[in-house]
Amino acid sequence: MKPVNLLLTNALVLTMDEKLHQYEPGAVAVRGDSILAVGAEAEMRAEYSAAQVFDCGGKVLMPGLVNAHTHAAMTLLRGLADDLRLDVWLMGYVMPVEREFVSPDFVQLGTRLACAELIRSGVTCFADMYYFEEEVAKATAEAGLRAVCSQTVLKFPTPDAASYEDSLAAARDFIQRWKGHALIEPSVAPHAPYTCTPEILRATAQLAVEFDVPLHTHLSETALEVENMRKASGMPVIPYVRKQGLLDAKVLAAHCVHVDEGEIRTLLHANAGVAHNPSSNLKLASGFAPVQKMLEVGLNVGIGTDGAASNNDLDMFEEIRLAAFVAKAVSNDPTAVPAATALSMATRLGAAAMHLGALTGSLEPGKRADLILVDLAPVHNAPSFRREAHNAYAQIVYASKATDVTDVMVNGKWLMRDRQLLTLNEAELLLAAQEYARHIDTFLIEREQSILSKLVALGGSTEAESFEVQVKVKLADPAAVQEALCRPEVKIIYQRHYHQHDNYFIFSDPSQGRLRYREDESIGAKGEVVSVRARLTLLGPAREGDFAHDVLLSRSRYLAPAANSLRFYREYFTPASVVPIDKVRLRWLVNFRDTEFYVNLDRFETPNLGNYLEIKSRTWSRKDAEHKAQLATELIILLGGSLKKTVTQDYIEIVAQH
Amino acid sequence: MKPVNLLLTNALVLTMDEKLHQYEPGAVAVRGDSILAVGAEAEMRAEYSAAQVFDCGGKVLMPGLVNAHTHAAMTLLRGLADDLRLDVWLMGYVMPVEREFVSPDFVQLGTRLACAELIRSGVTCFADMYYFEEEVAKATAEAGLRAVCSQTVLKFPTPDAASYEDSLAAARDFIQRWKGHALIEPSVAPHAPYTCTPEILRATAQLAVEFDVPLHTHLSETALEVENMRKASGMPVIPYVRKQGLLDAKVLAAHCVHVDEGEIRTLLHANAGVAHNPSSNLKLASGFAPVQKMLEVGLNVGIGTDGAASNNDLDMFEEIRLAAFVAKAVSNDPTAVPAATALSMATRLGAAAMHLGALTGSLEPGKRADLILVDLAPVHNAPSFRREAHNAYAQIVYASKATDVTDVMVNGKWLMRDRQLLTLNEAELLLAAQEYARHIDTFLIEREQSILSKLVALGGSTEAESFEVQVKVKLADPAAVQEALCRPEVKIIYQRHYHQHDNYFIFSDPSQGRLRYREDESIGAKGEVVSVRARLTLLGPAREGDFAHDVLLSRSRYLAPAANSLRFYREYFTPASVVPIDKVRLRWLVNFRDTEFYVNLDRFETPNLGNYLEIKSRTWSRKDAEHKAQLATELIILLGGSLKKTVTQDYIEIVAQH
């Protein structure tokens, strides 16, 4: 009789090894942190004398689930904002909130909250990617879970680094200090090809190779990403990252939704692992990953939940079921990705995808004792057919729930017994998490109260408030203006020719002002479009003052380059209505009596409002404004405008009346 | 102060009414079986004096979920067989098991098991379709749930009726007796257009109209159904059923996966309800229903789980989430079917689709008190953002689980309190269900032990065992045979010309024999294909005896028309390999010395094996066989065959060696 610490008996043992051995009743012998033997209960009892015998009560005993891709700390942002397009969700909500709130404390708490949910739902091992990854590692090790912890590197400043050089240095330091930990495999995460420079991809791959640790990244998540990559580099994403040397590392690639057969083979030859994230891909409408093809060629495809901010939970039972469901629906073949395959993805294949296949993912002698008990007694699991080996997998995959997990062991240590967490205090976590949610809600409520603060939250402002003196007249003969500009009193500094496509966002509260999204097409000498520039301007709600002859003082409250699409801003600001205006503008910067003025000669195309002449000048003081108002009047007369035809309304007001 | 029986307080009340009113803290006043008022707690406390005040402890109080399409009793078949194509699953497993096991007792038990799961997961109302619907109604009423119970009518014999006339009579009787019940709305269910005759569709519609009850059916579930309908009737499914008068009734149509915009409008004009079944449609690879379009035009689209045999659970939380997920993924738009819409589908819209909108589906004064409490305390729901009304719906739809439901009330009566079922004994149900599963497993194990019994299980056999005397020779000159057949000793009774496409299923256990799937193309005088016939033959494992000159006694164990596709049989019988053989056969039935023989002149096409002459005759006794063996030898010589070239192998054995 060989001595062991623990013998788990009276279980339906699903080893999830490559041959899918099952034992009923089966037993597992644990010595220290590892599995010594797995087999039929009678034989195991005859062979091993156990310090402790644990009766599993007829439950399913199987390897713990492997969540191959998540951002654990983002559990604190679960339900922050939903049913939004990816860019609105990410740039409008998640990133502003992360800029404001993500700190070592946030990451610690978020990770512990995630660990509580992961343990409860039978996960024993996960792959994480976030900021302050040191805190993720600490919290995870304390909770007793196994994880690949990947320090994120981005080309932008992040909550934990002012530059990517800082991130890289932090990643190296993190890897050096955690390498060899019993539970934590440190790793580096170049976020994605479109958020990293080629230098970052190369440097992170070299770092991962140097320390022989996994490299965790997002690849080919959306069709747009692939399209942009093709435009920019003439190839799709996988060949591009291979060119940067990324595949020299032990890669764990999340998503791989839009990859072709050649790319799948490239990943296979590089021994890269793939993390399939069905909920996230469905919820964000990213597309359907070719999971069946990847499995057919022999890729290690695991299953991940992605972050709880985009899922919105860490429930691997749901993901496993979806992996099977979606593969069937997309291939139009209900035999695709059968239950045993889906469950293998969530255990053995997932561990292999994370490059931890030697350590965990199945119940086999020599692997770590990472295991769970699943109770099939709840009514939603009844009855149990046991005609074929397949029945048990189908039951777990298609009927069982995360809440059926009763006991969880990692590295030979119990983390949950009879649904009681042993390493985390849930009540404390829930209180602290709710405190964060309240602060974040307050922050967002304040922000959402004004269009201006929503604008500022996006970041990237170039200018805040400015004042302008302006006068505008309707013109019968625009050609006369161009002639008049040749007169000696007017010195032309430069001339521009634009085709301006404006969209005015109108809000139900007029005190919020109006937001203008303008695309300026700069037109060259031959009528060709030389360049396009998009800008966002928040216009003051009303005139700030006026002078003689309808000269106005107006206020432009905010001006920024519009880095995102019109659609993004429409969904982010949710205006009551959007009014498009198209016009051709000839614009001059002139010097008139030692003062600079902009002269705009506008011809409206949509709607057809005719021609207008506008004189504008920036101003900084009341006195300056009065002076410029007088000069503007003189200039407008000089250019052939009639003071009897002045217009005090903005173009958008004219259009609204039209 | 107005008196009420019960005031539910201290809740986040989601009314799910059309305007999605929310109250926090909110309260609901119940009098008898109905809701008297819903509102802010303070106002409600001021207005109503309650015999009992129930503190909801800050949980979500919302209308019970509406499962708009299921087959409750099939819960007993959960996990019976999975990852199979629809026809293999249905005709190979479900229907044989139903023929054997479905009885009033089966239906009673299955329905009660389903009710336990439904109540636990927050369902208060469901639409059922099955056999012995009277038993469904009784079991449901006893469990205290609300349901539309639809008696199935099919053109085939069913477990509860020998003919559709019997089903119709039973449906009429059932409706008459249950009409007006407080919980049960009786109904009739013509199963589907492809399983019903036009007469059945008309008769069921008339019955439903006569009693003003809903008519429940499956429409446009698969692309194949629509394709077949177009071929058969020149139109898709919805126009076809309208033509049969089906839409005169209050229709509840399950699936509607393959419907175009015109059909959607037809359904809308008929005020038909639709039950969307995302899990079932994914798992069976039926396709993606155009849910967003249906909602846009204003159809009442509910959500159903379908039966647990094809889902494999009755978890509406999962279905709601999937309805939102799938709509986003398919439309490539993450803003499609947002959380509030998905939850409305599972409550108000589902009740309307079932034509019970006046009774249930939202918390509104006058509706029945059908309501549930959902606990947001479990860690997978944390934290709670409450910035916008939308947050609460997103939390329920994207994060909450069925197991978060703690309390359920239907018609003013508690069915579950603090996760304890009050109307059902789960332990008893589980034992009885497991007993059924054991019997069914035994039945299937026995059946699966032999290819023959799997064949018999399919039904439709025409012949069992038969014995044949046969002799076969390889030919150099086939033309000589045709000449010899003109000799006076041989009387030709008839001649046939076939193109035979065979597929031999080879099993790893040779004692099982071989199964041949043969398509006989009968060739006419001009070489045209006159008819095609597919047959299935189970061939004996080895020769049964032999005579002089290699004349064999062979056994054909089974012969049946092959009603299903080659693909079906391949997936049903799962042979180790499949070998195709194509040949042209000239076949004569001849009289030779007062004995009938078949003469087959075979020319092989795939693989190219040359020409063979076969003489065969049925036999019934050893003595008769000996006599025929002698005659067969004479005949083969007469026809120019050489006894030196006899072949004792079957064609498949020759091919296997080839």
What is the CB-side half-sphere exposure of residue B214 using CA atoms within 13 A? 30
Q: Comparing A406-410, B210-214, B640-644, which segment has the lowest mean pLDDT?
A: B640-644
Query: What b/e string do you get for A424-455 counting C-beta neighbours within 10 Å, with b at 16 or more?
Result: bebeebbebbeebbeebbebbeebeebbbebb
Domains A1-63+361-417 and A458-656 are alike in CATH topology: no
Structure confidence at residue A463 (pLDDT): 55
Mean pLDDT of chain B: 93
**Plot region of B229 (φ>0 → left; ψ -120 to 50 → alpha; else → beta):** alpha
Give residues 561 to 580 of B whose Cβ lies within 8 Å of A.
571
Classify residue B442 as exposed, middle or buried by CB count within 10 Å of its CB (0-12, 13-18, 19+): exposed
Structure confidence at residue B546 (pLDDT): 77
Residue of A34, A15, A31 lying closest to A23 (CA atoms): A15
Residues in contact with B144: Cβ distance below 8 Å, sequence separation at least 6, in sequence order: B183, B410, B411, B413, B415, B423
Structure confidence at residue B560 (pLDDT): 77
Task: Collect all residues of chain A within an 8 Å Cβ-Cβ radius of residue B87.
Answer: none
Task: Collect all residues of chain B within an 8 Å Cβ-Cβ radius of residue A83.
Answer: 324, 334-335, 338-339, 390, 394
Rg (Cα) of chain A, in Å, rounded? 32
Interval A103-136: pLDDT, tens: 999 999 999 999 999 999 999 999 999 999 999 9
Sequence-ordered strand ranges (E) for B352-412? 371-374, 405-410
Inter-chain Cβ pairs, chain A and chain B, closer than 8 A: 214
Interval B185-205: pLDDT, tens: 999 999 999 999 999 999 999
Q: How far apart are CA A214 and CA A68, in angstroms?
A: 12
Query: What b/e string do you get for B331-351 counting C-beta neighbours within 10 Å, with b at 16 or more?
Result: beebebbbbbbbbbbbbbbbb
Give residues 81 to 140 of A whose Cβ lies within 8 Å of B.
82-86, 89, 113, 116-117, 120-121
Q: How far apart are CA A411 and CA B151, in angstroms?
A: 55
Tell me what the mean pLDDT of segment A184-212 comes to.
Answer: 97
Q: How far apart are CA A278 and CA A324, in angstroms?
A: 10
A78 to B383: CB separation less than 8 angstroms, yes or no: yes
What is the CB-side half-sphere exposure of residue A365 using CA atoms within 13 A? 7
What are A147's two structure tokens?
A: 């994880």
Tell me what the mean pLDDT of segment A270-296 comes to.
Answer: 97
Between B624 and B500, name the one with better pLDDT: B500
- Beta carbons of A454 and A572 less than 8 angstroms apart: yes
Say if B279 is an interface residue toward chain A (CB within 8 Å).
Answer: yes
Classify residue A238 as exposed, middle or buried by CB count within 10 Å of its CB (0-12, 13-18, 19+): buried
Nearest CA in chain A to B429: A379
Tell me what the mean pLDDT of segment A254-259 comes to.
Answer: 98
| B419: Cα separation from own chain's centroid | 32
For B346, which DSSP code? T
Structure confidence at residue B543 (pLDDT): 61
Task: Collect all residues of chain A within an 8 Å Cβ-Cβ radius of residue B334.
Answer: 83-86, 89, 283-285
A120 to B80: CB separation less than 8 angstroms, yes or no: no
The CATH number of the structural domain formed by A65-360+418-438 is 3.20.20.140
Structure confidence at residue A557 (pLDDT): 67
Give residues 284 to 343 of B whose Cβ lies within 8 Å of A.
284-285, 287-288, 308, 311-315, 318, 321-322, 324-326, 328-329, 331-336, 338-339
A283 to B398: CB separation less than 8 angstroms, yes or no: yes
Tell me what the mean pLDDT of segment A161-184 comes to.
Answer: 96
B430 to A390: CB separation less than 8 angstroms, yes or no: no
Helix (H, G, I), strand (E, B) or coil at A263: helix
Say if B70 is an interface residue toward chain A (CB within 8 Å).
Answer: no
Residue of B19, B18, B4 lying closest to B27 (CA atoms): B4
Interval A493-528: pLDDT, tens: 999 999 999 999 998 888 788 899 999 999 998 989
* Torsion sign over Cα B304, B305, B309, B310: positive
Sequence-ordered strand ranges (E) for A113-154? 123-130, 146-153
- ipTM value: 0.86
B441 to A401: CB separation less than 8 angstroms, yes or no: no
Between B560 and B579, name the one with better pLDDT: B579
Of A313, A335, A445, Cβ closest to residue B85 = A335
Work out the pLDDT band at B494, boundaries 50, 70, 90. very high
Task: Collect all residues of chain B within an 8 Å Cβ-Cβ radius of residue A283.
Answer: 324-325, 328, 334, 398
Interval B611-655: pLDDT, tens: 999 999 988 777 888 899 999 999 999 998 888 888 888 888 888
Query: Is the preceding peptide bond at B3 cis, omega within 30 degrees of 0?
Result: no
Structure confidence at residue B621 (pLDDT): 75
pLDDT above 70 as % of chain B? 98
For residue A148, the distance in angstroms to the closest alpha carbon of chain B comes to 22
Architecture of the CATH domain A458-656? Beta Barrel (2.40)
DSSP string, B176-208: HHHTT-SSEEEEEEE--GGGS-HHHHHHHHHHH
CA dihedral A525, A528, A529, A531 (to 10 degrees): -50
B383 to A116: CB separation less than 8 angstroms, yes or no: no
Write down the pTM of the prediction.
0.86
Spans of all domains in chain A: 1-63+361-417, 65-360+418-438, 458-656
Interval A553-593: pLDDT, tens: 877 667 777 888 898 889 888 899 999 999 999 999 999 99
Q: Residue B545: which H helix or E strand, with range? A: strand B545-546
Tell me what the mean pLDDT of segment A8-12 comes to.
Answer: 98
Most confident of A566-575, B13-22, B151-160: B13-22
Work out the pLDDT band at A492, boundaries 50, 70, 90. very high
Structure confidence at residue A467 (pLDDT): 80
pLDDT above 70 as % of chain A? 98
Q: Is the domain defined by A1-63+361-417 classed in CATH 3.50.50.60?
A: no
Tell me what the mean pLDDT of segment B54-73 comes to.
Answer: 98
pLDDT above 90 as % of chain B? 77
Work out the pLDDT band at A543, boundaries 50, 70, 90. low
Of A84, A430, A433, Cβ closest to residue B334 = A84
Interval A315-327: pLDDT, tens: 999 999 999 999 9
Structure confidence at residue A546 (pLDDT): 77
Structure confidence at residue B385 (pLDDT): 96
Give residues 382 to 401 of A whose Cβ lies within 8 Å of B.
382-387, 390-391, 394-395, 398-399, 401
- Is the pLDDT score of A376 beyond 60? yes
Structure confidence at residue A453 (pLDDT): 77
B76 to A383: CB separation less than 8 angstroms, yes or no: yes
Q: How far apart are CA B379 and CA B381, in angstroms?
A: 5
Q: Residue A570: which H helix or E strand, with range? A: helix A566-573
Structure confidence at residue A460 (pLDDT): 57
